[in-house]
Structure 1
Amino acid sequence: MGNKIRLGIIYGGKSSEHEVSLRTAHSIMKAVDPNKYELTPVYVTLDGGWVQGSPIAERIESVERLRLQPGEAAADAAETGVQKVETKQSSLLNLGGKVDVIFPVIHGPNGEDGTIQGLLELAGLPYVGTGVMASAVGMDKWMMKNVFAQAGLKQVAFIGVLRSRLEREEEQVVVQIEQELGYPCFVKPANMGSSVGISKAKNREELHEALALAAKFDRRLVVEAFAKGREVEIGVLGNDELITSVVGEVIPAKEFYDYEAKYKGAGTELQIPAQIPDSVSERIAETAKQAFVAIDGSGLSRVDFFWDEESDELYINEINTMPGFTPFSMYPMLFQAAGIEYSELIDRLVTLALERHREKEKNIVAAEELE
């Protein structure tokens, strides 16, 4: 592998979280030790084009410099040429002999839903984070809830609704939701990240509007009963041996932690560590590990819960397999409070990616290999 770890960072993406991904990539590039890593940027544009840069020779100070253009040099270093790569597959295969491990930081669809992980598997490249199945299940709220139910994890009541059914019999869907879940309830696209397309409905009129909005983003919708309680979150780190961070609490200024609150502040307060009893923190940590194992997680995840202080009930909300990863995002801040700084967290994730790849290579691919 040489003296330096050759780390490729894939960022951007055809996603509503494009800008968040750029900031994440920039944060990682600034945080890693240049004596330990050689960085190769791979930028996925908003229209889905792929632009691969040659290794970066020095620190990139401005996030704008990461918007690579075909045929131009990355502005921070004359040595950083850029080549246009026409297809996703060839881009990754071109990286095969040039990088040791990939850190994909594209959020949302085509980034954390198993699709890019599948391409990395085809290219035979080690990568940070969960595999194809865990990424897909973690991204799809409907499947995730089914897996959590199978694992015996307590969660609020929910209903899955297909857009085709909604278009065919909206009134029947609304009546079912009212009878089984009641108001208020939350309506979500099954496969969107970062609270995009999510609404809280307090009556029938709002429910119709919420269903119509969610259906613009996905063909599969999830409707959840209202969860009374404090929003608490924890980070999980590891492959087979897991550690957890401290617990943090989200105190939203709005009625729920929506996209505006998550990425534009909007008065939301993050309390780290959360002011909750140790016994509750221990239950959260244990349940988070169970959720991580249930989806076959690897590398990292942030697991979100509702804790009802009055009844002492704990409900799992969701698992995020590619959580926000700037130094000011919840996941790194939770681990910083647990004594693991941002740069060390990156080191650990890269090590876990390489370990997981080596573990996978133990598998035989043909029966003849047994002879």
Structure 2
Amino acid sequence: MSKIRVGLIYGGKSGEHEVSLQTALAVTKAFDLNKYEVQPFYITKEGDWRTGPQLTAPAESVDALTFESASASGGAGTFALQPLFGSPAPAKTQGTQSATESGGTAAAQLDVVFPLLHGTFGEDGTVQGLLEMANIAYVGTGVLASAVGMDKVMMKKVFAQEGLPQCVFRHFTKNQWEKDNAFFIMEIEIAIGYPCFVKPANLGSSVGINKARNRDELLSAIAEAFRYDRKVIVEEFIDAREVEVAVLGNDEPQASVVGEIVSSSEFYDYKAKYIDGKSSMIIPAEIDSELSSRIRDLAVRAFQSIDGSGLSRVDFFLRKDNGEIYINEINTMPGFTPFSMYPLLWRESGKPYSELLDDLVRLAIQRHEEKQRLSYSFDLT
């Protein structure tokens, strides 16, 4: 049986560039190179695409994956896109020939792409649209689900339509804020109060998020959030435990066990997630089976509400005073190192890291093959 040729896309023009590199490093070490041919694609912070040679061994460091100079496969920029747009082939099934066996150009015969991109220009539907245009199978949610999952405002509106419980929030664009910030301040103070959380609407990994305890801190937090996005969301503070569920699948998604985050900081910000190393994960969370089942069911409903596919991590608040559940957000491309919550949740559910990668590739190819059976034209004759 021929190997499945996988393209890894990582880096990106995003505030989560470094997180993406760590994810890519971990994935290269986990792929079984006896089963897969792995082709790396690095996107610089400026948006320049670069590719290196096919991996014959796991990458030893992040530096080995950045290709800062001209790549071994023909240079940077548009040349790096040739494997995507040169001559995309349909996904192979068991027993079919490899690109080399069939006489094609190996670089143009990717079977599936794994976009290991977090945040803007990667998790928001943009690269998913690129891969749809190239007619290549890819891991993770599609264009719509990615865009909705990235935009916290649209996500919350979809969750509201689905009847999922969530905290009070308000939102506004930079233009709206500049025209009438007095109105929004009044609305926040009446409907939400202090303390509250201020977030860019389109960013992950807790970048640009701040807790505001008074009006001065609110104004400062909003100014900070507008550095990263044109739209800001303000949410009520809930004294709660933070629990998370990993979801895997296409039309019949499954939920992992529930895990809990115990933050080293006042809230689970970027430093607490990636820098100080003091936050802890409790897997499975210390909650009763009935509550766990309810949270897992809500995670699957959230995933299906955005038309998810492949993978997502769904985050919840569990109020300390009365045990009420509130959905916080869905992350359609969660951190994927062996120490990240998503693979750890599945490991504790009986699915090791390498098997999880196999499942994600299989689900991507399955979804792509289903799409190939659709008709995209209409014969009027």
- Pairs within 5 Å for 1:22-61: 22-61=21-60
How far has the Cα of 1:309 moved from its partner? 3.9
User: Cα–Cα, structure 1 residues 133 and 273, in superposed 2: closer, same or farther, change >3 Å?
Assistant: same
Give CA-to-partner distance per residue, 1:29-65, whole Å, 9 cap, x none.
1111111000100110121111122322233222211
Task: Judge conservation of contact 2:243–2:258 (CA < 8 Å) in 1.
Answer: yes
What amino acid sits opposite 1:322 in the alignment?
Answer: M
TM-score (norm 1): 0.94
Report the AA paired with residue 288 of structure 2. P
Selected match of 1:85 from 72, 77, 86: 77
The 8 Å contact of residues 162 and 220 in structure 1, kept in 2 or not, is answered as yes
Take 2:310 and 2:19, find their aligned partners in 1: how far apart are those partners?
20
Structure-1 separation of matches of 2:81 and 2:189: 46
Alignment partner, residue 178 of structure 2: 167
Q: For each residue in 1:284-308, what CA deviation from the matched residue of structure 2 results, as whole angstroms up to 9, or x when unmatched?
A: 1000000000000000000000011
Alignment CA distance shift 1:72-1:90 (3 Å): closer
Asked whether the 8 Å contact 2:261–2:282 carries over to 1, the reply is yes
Shift of 1:150: 0.3
Structure 1 Cα separation of the partners of residues 277 and 194 of structure 2: 25
- Residues 1:158 and 2:169 aligned together: yes
The reply on whether 1:276 has 2:259 as its aligned counterpart is no
Equivalent residue for 1:346, pick from 329, 345, 357: 357
Rounded to whole Å, the distance in 1 between the matches of 2:117 and 2:234 is 26
Residue 138 of structure 2 aligns to a residue whose secondary structure is coil
Contact conserved, 2:49 with 2:81, CA < 8 A, in 1? no
**Contact 2:239 2:320 (8 Å CA) reproduced:** no
Please tell me whether the aligned partners of residues 100 and 126 of structure 1 are also in contact (alpha carbons under 8 angstroms).
yes
Q: Say if 2:132 is the partner of 1:140.
A: no
Which consecutive aligned stretches of 4+ in structure 1 deviate over 4 angstroms post-superposition? 87-91
Partner SS for 2:14: coil
Q: CA deviation at 1:228?
A: 2.3
| Cα 1:62/1:249, change in 2 over 3 Å | same
> 1: CA distance between counterparts of 2:127 and 2:80?
9
| Residue identity matched to 1:48 | G
* 52-61 or 110-119, which deviates more: 52-61
CA distance in 2, matches of 1:184, 1:95: 54
Q: Aligned residues: percent identity?
A: 53
- Give structure 1 stretches of 5+ with no counterpart: 74-80
Deviation at 1:90, TM superposition (A): 4.7
Aligned counterparts of 1:39 and 1:137: Cα–Cα separation in 2? 30
**1:30 aligned partner, one-letter code:** K
What's the secondary structure of 2:375's corresponding residue? coil
Does 1:203 pair with 2:214? yes
Query: In 1, Cα distance between the equivalents of 2:80 and 2:134?
Result: 10
Counterpart of 1:166, as a letter, is W
Paired letter, 2:86: N
Map Cα deviations across residues 317-355 of structure 1 (whole Å, 9 max, x no partner): 000000000000010001001111001100000000000
Does residue 121 of the first structure (1) align with residue 132 of the second (2)? yes
Counterpart of 1:76 in structure 2 is none
1:245 aligns with 2:259: no
Amino acid at match of 2:54: P
Q: Residue 51 of structure 2: SS of its match in structure 1?
A: strand
**SS of residue matched to 1:109:** coil
**Which residue identity is paired with 1:276?**
I
RMSD after superposition: 1.6
Contact 1:304 1:316 in 2 (8 A): yes
Cα deviations by residue, 1:222-263 (Å, 9 ceiling, x for unpaired): 111112211000100000111111111111121110011111
**Unpaired runs of at least 5, structure 2:** 89-107
Task: Give the deviation of 1:109 after TM superposition.
Answer: 0.2
Taking the aligned partners of 2:190 and 2:270, their CA distance within structure 1 comes to 29
- Kindly indicate whether residue 196 of structure 2 is the aligned counterpart of residue 185 of structure 1: yes
Report the secondary structure of 2:166's partner residue: coil
1:265 to 2:276 alignment: yes
Matching residue within 94, 102, 121 for 2:86: 94
| d(CA) in 2 for partners of 1:54, 1:64 | 14
Q: Which residue of 1 aligns with 2:225?
A: 214
The AA in structure 1 aligned to 2:295 is I
State the alpha-carbon separation in 2 of the partners of residues 235 and 62 from structure 1: 27
The corresponding residue for 2:65 is: 66
Q: Against the structure 1 CA distance between its residues 220 and 239, is the aligned structure 2 distance closer, same or farther, given a 3 Å change threshold?
A: same
Letter in 2 for 1:241: E
Q: Secondary structure at the match of 2:86?
A: helix
User: For residues 246 and 350 of structure 1, what CA distance do their matches in structure 2 show?
Assistant: 22
Q: Is the 8 A contact 1:51 1:82 kept in 2?
A: no
Helix, strand or coil at the partner of 2:379: helix
Q: Please, which moves more after superposition, 286-295 or 63-72?
A: 63-72
Q: Does the 8 Å CA contact 1:69/1:82 hold for their aligned counterparts?
A: no
Displacement after TM superposition at 1:87 (Å): 7.1
Q: TM-score of the superposition, structure 2-length normalised?
A: 0.92
